[in-house]
Amino acid sequence: MTHPMSLRGWKAQLLIGTIALLNGAGFLLCAAVTCTHEFLFLRRSDATYGIVQANVLRHTEIDAEVGGTTVDLYCPQFFFTDDDGGSRTFTSSTCVNPPTYAVGQRIRIRYLRSHPESAQADSFGAMWGISLGFGIAALLLLSVGAVLLLRLRSQGHPLDPRILLEPGNDSRA
C-alpha cells in the first residue's frame, strides 16, 4: 500500500514540470527586473575612467551547512574622480577568480552623480552578468517544464496540478 501523497510515475513528472515552469517564470521575472534596473542605471549614469588599486581577496564559503569548501574570489577595487572633482574608491561586487583586472589598469567606470558610491566597472559581466544568469536559468527551467508537461499531455495525462493533492493511485485519469 502506498502513502496517499506518494508521487510516482507521471504524477512525479507533473509535479517536476509544474515546479520547473513556476520557477522558470520567477527567474524570467528576475531577469526582466534586473535588466530594467541596469538599463535605467546606464541611461542616468555618467562615464569616466578609473585606476584599479587592488584586487581585494574575498573568501567565500560554498555549502557551508554541509561542510562545504572555501573559494577565493578577487573583487577589483578602483579609484576614480567624479565630475564634481571628488575622489572615490569603490570595491566592485563582481568578484571572480582569476582576477579580471590588473592593478594599475585603467578601466571605464559608470556611476550616478547623485550616488557616486553606485559605481561599477563598465564591462559586460558587471553590467549584465546577473541578468544573463537569471535569463539562462529561466530558459533551462521553462524548457524542462514545457518538455515534461507536453510529453505528459501527448500521453493523455491530465495536466491539472490539483490532481497532485488528491489521494489515490497513479493510474491514468
* Nearest alpha-carbon partner for 165 in 11, 23, 18: 11
Phi, psi angles (nearest 5°) of residue 113: -60, -40
pLDDT tens digits for range 141-163: 999 999 999 998 888 888 777 77
Region 37-49: mean pLDDT is 93
Q: What region does 17 belong to: left with phi over 0, alpha with psi -120 to 50, or beta?
A: alpha
User: What are the residues whose beta carbons fall under 8 Å from the beta carbon of 149, sequence distance 6 or more?
Assistant: 14, 17, 18, 21, 159
Q: Rounded to an integer, what distance in angstroms lies between the CA atom of residue 23 and that of residue 127?
A: 24
Do 75 and 93 meet the contact criterion of CB atoms below 8 Å apart? yes
Residue 66 pLDDT: 64
Residue 41 pLDDT: 94
Q: What are the structural domain ranges in the chain? A: 9-165
Q: What share of the chain has pLDDT > 70, as a percent?
A: 88
Q: Rounded to an integer, what distance in angstroms lies between the CA atom of residue 138 and that of residue 131?
A: 10
Flag whether the pTM goes above 0.75: no
Q: Rounded to an integer, what distance in angstroms lies between the CA atom of residue 53 and that of residue 44?
A: 26
Residue 34 pLDDT: 96
pLDDT tens digits for range 60-113: 887 666 667 888 899 999 999 888 888 889 898 888 889 989 999 999 999 998
